Amino acid sequence: MRRWARWAWIVGLSGAFGCRDADGRAAASASDSSAAAPSLADKVAQYTPVRLTADLSRLSDHERRMIPSLLAAAMAIDTVYRLQYYPALDSLLAATSDADARRFIQINYGPWDRLDGNRPFLAGVGPRPPGAALYPPDVTKAQLEGDSALLGAYTVVRRDSAGALVAVPYHRAFETQMREAAKHLREAASLAEDPGLRRYLELRARALETDDYQPSDLAWLDMKRNRLDVVIGPIETYIDELTGRKTAAEAYILLKDQEWSARLARYASLLPALQRGLPVPEAYKRERPGTDSDLNAYDALYYAGDANAGSKTIAINLPNDEEVQLRKGTRRLQLKNVMQAKFDKILVPIAEELIAPDQRAHIKFDAFFANVMFHEVAHGLGIKRTIDGKGTVRDALKEQAGALEEGKADILGLYMVTRLLAQHELTGTVLEDHYVTFLASIFRSVRFGAAEAHGRANAAQLSYFEEHGAFARDSATGRYRVDFPRMRTAVDSLGALILRYQGDGDYAGVSRFMAQRGTPSPVVTADLRRLDGKKIPVDVIFEQGADVLGLER
């Protein structure tokens, strides 16, 4: 994700692009001591409703009949996520009578505000455990890091009868829900007319029961002609702020937009040449990205679990398995209907408030769509293993890895736009549209807060760009204007810095960078608070399910 992730956008270094800063403060939405604390009604209003629907008329009868089974599988996975994040959710909801409090608990899947640095929003609730419910509440990072058996991506850590720490595989810890989800995936597989989709669903069902996800990841990448798609299982690691290793359960049900996908198909083939042109020494770009990657546009039909908690991603880049990425590449999924909703309801109003009037004409949906798309493509650039050959970047950077990777994708996405425009591979747009739309989107994503990797990433980018003169703020109007030549220079220098952090596995350096830049300045924070005053929402919540799609339950 992040992503998408969670990019949302699934888009974040230490405070910019859709998924936590070092000291746990909110990136943008926290109130200072001079501002009145927002009410729960105000907090709920930070999310604007969107009906998650699409045109199903081109689906066959069998494909339409698959959707209820996929919905049932996603709901079972949603329950797994609740158990991973906050197992007392149902009892908390039952004990809460205030309608706004109940709604905000549901949005956050618990009593901690994801847009406000995971601060508790109910009286008597303590801080969010950094490991959520994936570890015993009293365990420390030091107790875990010396024991690789406890750090598996698909295990929870518990104490046995003697008090010793033990790892319990997900397929045992959540056996009832995993088997339920697997059953419904097999029901959908029995209806699938596309052989690739049928094989993937069967293998994914098996993975939920065994925690062996690589075969189904490979099968997912092999699918080419399917119109329906489902992303399901334990995937992103954002909720594990203790070690950054444990994956959280989520699901997306998607409908491919064949027309838009055809427009995007050629970009994955350009990755090797773009990799060779990265502005870093050869050691930091020696890996060759897979070229069997897909780049497609989808309408989202359903979000569940980690994907549905707090801010919502608008693009997905998977699988996360580095071996699979190097072997076959990844698939980049642009969630077009959700992107359009966020552009119309959030980004355009933000631009009207914060972008200089003479640059607002550069705010374009096509630029927004392309920036998000190239963010996802850019996950395939750079390096997956440290240059000393001692392990993966993810292992070396620990809990900092997710936000830095999101920041890399943001910046190298802009690098790609710049190079492809110069090569006339990208047409019908101009660089200024992408830079101004990107700046407006930073303001959009930084509001996701310090608890979200993309929010952290954008705050860091904003700080770096400000320091390097990539934009200027008019003190009289409080509006921002991009300096196009300096923005281009800053994009290259920040991209090189991030790639070096990753290639060197420089955990200490990344930690300092995030601590210094992961929280917006007081001036930016005040400007962002103006958006709250204008009642501009921060993100969306979905009205979704069989009824919204016009399907029988």
CA-to-CA separations, 254 to 74, 334, 342, 343, in angstroms, rounded? 12, 10, 18, 20
112 assigned to some structural domain: no
pLDDT of residue 290: 59
- What is the Cα–Cα distance from 553 to 546, expressed in whole angstroms? 6
- What is the Cα–Cα distance from 160 to 166, expressed in whole angstroms? 7
Residue 287 has pLDDT above 50, yes or no: yes
Which residues touch 502 (CB under 8 Å, ≥6 apart)? 284, 382, 383, 386, 393, 397, 404, 405, 408
CB of 417 closer than 8 Å to CB of 408: no
Residue 152 has pLDDT above 60, yes or no: yes
The pair of structure tokens assigned to 241 is: 């702020």
- What is the Cα–Cα distance from 243 to 296, expressed in whole angstroms? 32
- What is the Cα–Cα distance from 98 to 353, expressed in whole angstroms? 33
Q: Beta partners for 295?
A: 332
**Domain extent for 496:** 53-86+132-536
Q: Where do we find the tokens 């190079």?
A: 419
pLDDT 10s digits, 161-214: 999 999 999 999 999 999 999 999 999 999 999 999 999 999 999 999 999 999
pTM (predicted TM-score) = 0.79
Please return the burial class of 422, using the count of CB atoms within 10 Å of its CB with bins 0-12, 13-18 and 19+.
exposed
Rounded to the nearest angstrom, the gap between the alpha carbon of residue 65 and the centroid of all alpha carbons in its chain is 29
Task: Give the pLDDT band of residue 49 (cuts 50, 70, 90).
Answer: very high
pLDDT 10s digits, 333-358: 999 999 999 999 999 999 999 999 99
Number of domains in the chain: 1
Sign of torsion, CA 367 369 372 378? Answer: negative
pLDDT 10s digits, 477-508: 999 999 999 999 999 999 999 999 999 999 99
3-state secondary structure 212-232: CCHHHHHHHHHCCCCCEEEEE
217 assigned to some structural domain: yes
CA-to-CA separations, 261 to 181, 227, 258, 354, 375, in angstroms, rounded? 29, 11, 5, 33, 16
pLDDT of residue 27: 31
The bridge status of strand 315-318 relative to strand 119-120 is unpaired
H or E element at residue 299? strand 294-305
- Go through 325-353 and write b for each residue having 16 or more CB atoms within 10 A of its CB, e for each that does not: beebbbbbbbbbbbbbbbbebbbbbbbeb
CB of 129 closer than 8 Å to CB of 86: no
Residue 19 has pLDDT above 60, yes or no: no
pLDDT of residue 271: 80
Other CB atoms within 10 Å distance of the CB of residue 501: 23
CB of 105 closer than 8 Å to CB of 111: yes
Interhelix angle 365-378/431-446, rounded to 10 degrees, is 80
- What is the Cα–Cα distance from 479 to 65, expressed in whole angstroms? 51
Residue 34 has pLDDT above 60, yes or no: no
CB of 159 closer than 8 Å to CB of 165: yes
155 three-class SS: strand
Name the nearest CA neighbour of 134 among 110, 155, 112.
Answer: 155
Instruction: Write phi, then psi, for 483 (nearest 5 degrees).
Output: -95, 105
pLDDT of residue 13: 28
Task: Give the pLDDT band of residue 518 (cuts 50, 70, 90).
Answer: confident
Mean pLDDT, rounded, of the chain: 88
37 assigned to some structural domain: no
AA identity, residue 291: T
Rounded to the nearest angstrom, the gap between the alpha carbon of residue 222 and the centroid of all alpha carbons in its chain is 23
- Go through 125-141 and write b for each residue having 16 or more CB atoms within 10 A of its CB, e for each that does not: eeebbbbbbbbeeebee
The bridge status of strand 539-543 relative to strand 47-51 is parallel
- What is the Cα–Cα distance from 146 to 76, expressed in whole angstroms? 34
pLDDT of residue 17: 25
Q: Where do we find the tokens 């045109």?
A: 55
Percent helix, strand, coil in the chain (nearest 5)? Answer: 50, 15, 35
pLDDT 10s digits, 288-326: 765 555 788 999 999 999 999 998 998 888 999 989 988
262 assigned to some structural domain: yes
Q: Once rounded to an integer, what is the mean pLDDT over residues 401-423?
A: 91
Question: What is the CATH number for 71?
Answer: 3.30.540.30
pLDDT of residue 35: 54
91 assigned to some structural domain: no
